[in-house]
Amino acid sequence: MSYASTSVIQIIPRTRRGVELLLLVIAVAVSVAAYVNIGLTVQNSVPASTGYYAAGIGLLALIAHLVLRYRAPYADPVLLPCAVLLNGLGVAMIHRIDLGLTAIGRTKGVPFAPQQITWTAVGVVLFVAVIVLIRDHRRLQALTYTAGLAGLVLLVLPLVPGLGVNLNGARIWVRLAGMSFQPGEFAKVCLVVFFAGYLVVKRDVLTLAGRRFLGLDLPRARDLGPILIAWVVSLGVLVFESDLGSSLLFFGLFLFLLYVSTERAGWLIIGGLLFAGGAYFAYMTFGHVHRRITDWLNPWAIDGGQIKLGLMGQAWGGVLGRGLGQGHPELTLYANSDMIISSMAEELGLTGLIAIILIYTLIVERGLRAALGCRDIFGKLVATGLAMSFALQVFVIVGGVTGLIPLTGLATPFMALGGTSLVANWAIIALLLRISDQARRPQTPAAPVSDETIAMAVQKQ
């Protein structure tokens, strides 16, 4: 028997774009079903805007899918459907609250749900731009210090007289050309790129251990400069912008990336002590921080307080919820933005809230999986930082709404009313998908293998 010919074995990894398309169909169907269910419950009819809503969400999801299919075919197939599902459910709940506000005469001009769909379109446009323009995430490493400077500028922008405005007790907004936006949402993306690029260069120095205390290798005193700078900046955000959530988010991101890059638990202990000391100092010194803590410790003392009404709504929802359209989330202040998690818990119950948290957990898990599969340290740290930004933000939001920690002004990713947060989160998903595409993409084509080699391998078996 002759084995003179040569065959080529080429293993083509699955792109999983078909799986992504199926999950997108399910995500859009669930979102549209929620929207219709709300209309049938509240208005006893299918909403007239159902076609507009379904076409908008479906078309935007299809555009994002097609861009990934042709520009990042090996990207993670789960991240985009999770984002679409959360976005769609958020728009449905905002529509539900619009109807409730109209019923009690507290409506403010045009409904918010169409605005949220418009901002979703802007977010998908930015998503497409990131996927198309950033062909290789490693090029961002050259912009390390530029990204750091941009992040700091965006952080202090609300403090500029004439630009920054104080809304709901926090100075985190900028009003320009008649429009308000939250620069801190884009600052976290810039700072993650800066943290990752900085730690790639300095990780060997920061890994060096100093004294050993209680079994932990503490860093050397001379290496404490970066964490002290990050601490001062986060404390400044807390003091001058009255934003506990962003302060915790930025410092927590740097601290977590520092731990991941050095594998030194001592950094976590030092960072935790620094943040606890800074928060206590702010509580004892500044009135707005003291009020936040006081309202958290005793929410029932405030008649009609935001936390009080949110907790009562969640308690009324119980385990299975009142049902979409059958609660009264509109009675809670800022039910469509700061307290949208409370609104969801009231109408979907603890079960629905757990399901939503699991979707966020899945986004974090897929982001960390992309970090594990990435072949370069910079990409690993960027993916880890972006994934943990979701984790920290959701923890701060859910913890504040449920009374675990003081309530902050952070927006629930993809769900809360607000254009800046929504657009920034679509950009984060795009970066995670770009990194996952590089991580899952085959490095080299398969080498040709002769028929004789195949036969010999079969005989050995």
Per residue in 407-447, pLDDT tens? 877 789 999 988 889 999 999 999 999 999 998 888 755 44
pLDDT at 455 over 60: no
Please give the Cα distance from 131 to 121 (Å, whole number). 15
pLDDT at 241 over 90: no
What mean pLDDT is reported for the chain?
Answer: 83
Q: How confident is the model at residue 6 (pLDDT cuts 50, 70, 90)?
A: very low
Per residue in 295-324, pLDDT tens? 888 888 776 678 888 899 999 999 999 999
Q: What per-residue confidence (pLDDT) applies to 387? A: 95
Per residue in 182-236, pLDDT tens? 888 888 899 899 888 888 887 766 665 555 555 555 555 555 566 677 767 777 7
- The DSSP line for 186-234 is HHHHHHHHHHHHHHHHHHHHHH-EEEEETTEEEEPGGG-HHHHHHHHHH
**pLDDT: which is higher, 16 or 455:** 16
Given a contact cutoff of 8 angstroms between Cβ atoms, the answer to whether 7 and 450 are in contact is yes
Percentage, residues of the chain above pLDDT 90:
43
Task: Name the strand (E) or helix (H) holding 180.
Answer: strand 179-181
Query: Which among 292, 261, 270, 41 has a CA at the least distance from the CA of 168?
Result: 292
Q: What per-residue confidence (pLDDT) applies to 245? A: 74
Q: What are phi and psi of 449, to 5 degrees?
A: -125, 130
pLDDT at 138 over 50: yes
pLDDT at 74 over 80: yes
Please give the Cα distance from 383 to 187 (Å, whole number). 16
Query: Which among 303, 147, 166, 327 has a CA at the least distance from the CA of 243?
Result: 166
Please give the Cα distance from 318 to 320 (Å, whole number). 6
Beta strands in 377-447 (DSSP E): none
Q: How confident is the model at residue 350 (pLDDT cuts 50, 70, 90)?
A: very high
Q: What per-residue confidence (pLDDT) applies to 295? A: 80
The overall longest dimension of the chain from CA atoms, in Å, is 91
Per residue in 269-283, pLDDT tens? 877 888 788 778 877
Per residue in 23-45, pLDDT tens? 999 999 999 999 999 999 998 99
- 144-156 and 184-207 helices cross at what angle (nearest 10)? 130
Q: What per-residue confidence (pLDDT) applies to 211? A: 58
Percentage, residues of the chain above pLDDT 70:
84
Per residue in 99-136, pLDDT tens? 988 888 777 667 899 999 999 999 999 999 999 999 99
Please give the Cα distance from 230 to 252 (Å, whole number). 10
Q: Determine which of 6-10, 40-44, 381-385, 412-416 has the lowest per-residue pLDDT on average.
A: 6-10
